[in-house]
Amino acid sequence: MKFTKSEMQHELLKFMSLLGQHVAALYGARDPAWANEDAITQSPVWNAMGELYDYGVMGIPTGDLVPGNRINGIHAHVEMFLRAFDTARAKIFLEAGDNEAPRLCLFTVQIAVARMVLDGGERYTDYGASEHGILQGDTGYLTFSEIAMLANMDERSVRNAANPKLSNPLKTELKGTRSLVNIEEAGRWLAGRKGFRASKPYDGPPVKRAPEFDINLTLEQAMHIEQKAQEAGVSFGEYLKAMLYKASQEAMK
């Protein structure tokens, strides 16, 4: 899918304006400032989407979107915000306000996340947890859909390229119920695709990341956390992060 940054921003402006008016109606507000063009184009979501486009579509490291980092901060918030509107129930809400999910914006977010993983970074949310099982998400792996985005190909062609009968197939690994591609194999295969735009070299300061650690959970503990996460309407990873943050805040008192 090829589109310009201006086309993506035009779609975002329309989406945010209609959404702002729809939400204002729920509050009984008239002419809300947040639905105006000036407010939208100066908002964090507007700036974040511009950076996500530069990195995801164009391969230009910018801000926190650099190889080896993770989708975090405002970029993670925008990702969750847009993904939330790409659901059946959300579409009903949007249609009531003559609005629709912003397809170009969603694609921009998805390809930026895919590029971050390809560049050795991490996702913010473990979207694969519910499909792969507890603590068996797709960290370090790309889906056929994500590889198709990066290669500027349709997903069916990518799946066909994974046929083991081919002389040089795209090699996959079975994770849960899905076939995924590890980042080394994805990088090898994408390098030979004409539609793939490699990330540009990053010459900024080294990425500073919080230290990583392993948590050994019993099955009962993991199932309890998963149940609480489902009740809260968030992913396993998000709920676990919230628990750790709360514990660290209490420990610092």
Q: 168-186, pLDDT tens digit by residue?
A: 999 999 876 778 899 999 9
Beta strands in the chain (DSSP E): 141-142, 173-175, 178-182
What average pLDDT does this structure show over 189-206?
A: 91
Question: Band of the pLDDT at 2, cuts 50, 70, 90?
Answer: confident
For residue 203 the two structure tokens come to 């010459």
What average pLDDT does this structure show over 15-28?
A: 94
Question: Band of the pLDDT at 223, cuts 50, 70, 90?
Answer: confident
CATH no., domain 129-190: 1.10.1660
Amino acid at 7: E
Is the torsion defined by CA of 18, 23, 26, 31 positive or negative? negative
Instruction: Give the pLDDT score at 208.
Output: 66
CB 70 within 8 A of CB 123: yes
CB 150 within 8 A of CB 178: no
Question: Band of the pLDDT at 211, cuts 50, 70, 90?
Answer: low
For residue 232 the two structure tokens come to 């809260």
Alpha helices in 98-235 (DSSP H): 103-118, 129-132, 144-151, 155-161, 183-190, 219-232
**Minimal CA–CA distance to 69: which of 140, 2, 123, 138?**
123
Q: What is the pTM of this model?
A: 0.80
CB 71 within 8 A of CB 146: no
The count of residues in the chain is: 253
